[in-house]
């Protein structure tokens, strides 16, 4: 069996073409207004600066605007909260992204939760998570939502399947499990301290690796015909799952790189356009 490659890069490019058309239409109808994503970068972490730049570039490619907010390393929680409130109150800002991680003196959770629900296009607030979990309207956390869009685009059947999510982070593992549950999968959540982890994974029709450790999940643990989603990325171009031996015996898999990664930024932009259309349109 040759596995279906779940190509996130190709889907992201196709989506960008669709978003470009939507932004152009919105501009034409509104006298030149576009959706605006505000990105907040606190401190000088080079990786964070690169991610923020990539997000700004994605906005530019589809014709929408971004507002770059850069704050110094010594910024306090109160100063960051004041900036978020200012952006919440700005009618021309349709999405707010606070780049993670922030410097350690800042209460990151308090700052995430200060973002207005309708501008939480990265899906990081407790309110957004709760509403999504309850099946109410909210923007989904960007990486798991990107994974769901990828599975949908390739017509991967989720309903009734047993999905095992390895990882429980608040912005990946937990929302991933809730989204799969919402799509009628039976979901098991595992993590680095799960006993007999291999036994749980062997039962999975869908495996999501989101544990943050290179090739932590071994190929021999995964059954033939499973769908394999690797949300990890580590030096050397490897993910959280030992992918190479699986390529001839699983039904489908996400490559690393080029699978889940492109869908994360793409989903952030997708949800920003959606928010802009609601406000401007």
How far does CA 262 lie from the centroid of its chain?
Answer: 9
Q: What is the pLDDT of residue 198?
A: 98
* Fold category of 30-121 in CATH: Rossmann fold (3.40.50)
Question: Phi/psi at 206 (nearest 5 deg)?
Answer: -130, 125
Catalytic residue among 55, 83, 119, 145: 55
Q: What is the pLDDT of residue 192?
A: 86
What 8-state DSSP symbol labels residue 3? Answer: P
Catalytic residue among 7, 120, 122, 240: 122
Catalytic residue among 7, 33, 99, 271: 99
> Cα separation of 134 and 107, whole Å?
26
Predicted TM-score of the model (pTM): 0.96
Crossing angle of the two packed helices 8-30 and 142-153, in degrees rounded to 10: 100
Residue 122 bears catalytic tag: yes
Domains 30-121 and 142-262 share a fold: yes
Give kind and range of the element (H or E) at residue 166.
strand 162-166
Q: Spell out the per-residue pLDDT of the chain, length 281, in tens.
A: 789 999 999 999 999 999 999 999 999 999 999 999 999 999 999 999 999 999 999 999 999 999 999 999 999 999 999 999 999 999 999 999 999 999 999 999 999 999 999 999 999 999 999 999 999 999 999 999 999 999 999 999 999 999 999 999 999 999 999 999 999 999 999 998 999 999 999 999 999 999 999 999 999 999 999 999 999 999 999 999 999 999 999 999 999 999 999 999 999 999 999 999 999 98
Q: What is the pLDDT of residue 246?
A: 97
Residues contacting 196, CB < 8 A, separation 6+: none
Residue 223 bears catalytic tag: no
Tell me which CATH code domain 142-262 carries: 3.40.50.720
Structure tokens at 229: 């989603």
> Cα separation of 235 and 180, whole Å?
29
Residue 13 bears catalytic tag: no
Structure tokens at 116: 């207005």
The structural domains of the chain, with segments of one domain joined by +, span 30-121, 142-262
Q: How many other C-beta atoms are found inside a 10 Å radius of the C-beta of residue 150?
A: 24
> Cα separation of 1 and 224, whole Å?
9
Q: What angle (nearest 5°) sits at the alpha carbon of residue 167, between those of residues 45 and 190?
A: 165
> Cα separation of 279 and 5, whole Å?
37
Nearest CA among 241, 172, 170, 166 for reference residue 211 = 166
- Alpha helices, DSSP H only, in the chain? 8-30, 46-62, 77-89, 108-114, 126-133, 142-153, 173-182, 197-202, 260-280
């Amino acid at each position: 069996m040759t596995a279906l490659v779940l190509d996130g890069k190709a889907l992201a490019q196709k989506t960008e073409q669709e978003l470009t058309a939507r932004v152009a239409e919105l501009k034409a109808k509104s006298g030149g207004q576009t959706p605006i994503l505000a990105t907040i970068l606190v401190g000088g972490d080079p990786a964070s600066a690169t991610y923020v730049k990539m997000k700004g570039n994605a906005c530019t490619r589809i014709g929408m605007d971004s507002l770059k907010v850069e704050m110094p390393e010594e910024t306090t929680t109160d100063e960051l909260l004041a900036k978020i409130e200012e952006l919440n109150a700005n009618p021309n800002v349709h999405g707010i992204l606070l780049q993670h991680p922030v410097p350690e003196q800042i209460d990151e959770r308090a700052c995430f939760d200060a973002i207005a629900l309708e501008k939480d296009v990265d899906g990081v607030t407790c309110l957004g998570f709760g509403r999504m979990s309850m099946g109410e309207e909210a923007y989904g956390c960007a990486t798991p939502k990107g994974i769901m869009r990828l599975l949908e685009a390739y017509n991967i059947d989720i309903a009734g399947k047993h999905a095992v999510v390895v990882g429980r982070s608040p912005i990946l593992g937990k929302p991933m499990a809730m989204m799969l549950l919402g799509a009628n999968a039976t979901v098991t959540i595992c993590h680095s301290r799960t006993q007999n982890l291999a036994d749980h994974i062997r039962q999975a029709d869908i495996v999501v690796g989101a544990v943050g450790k290179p090739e932590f999940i071994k190929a021999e643990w995964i059954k033939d015909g499973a769908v394999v989603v690797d949300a990890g990325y580590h030096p050397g171009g490897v993910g959280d799952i030992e992918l190479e031996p699986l390529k001839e015996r699983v039904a489908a898999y996400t490559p690393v790189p080029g699978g889940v990664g492109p869908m994360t930024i793409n989903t952030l932009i997708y949800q920003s356009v959606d928010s802009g259309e609601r406000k401007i349109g």
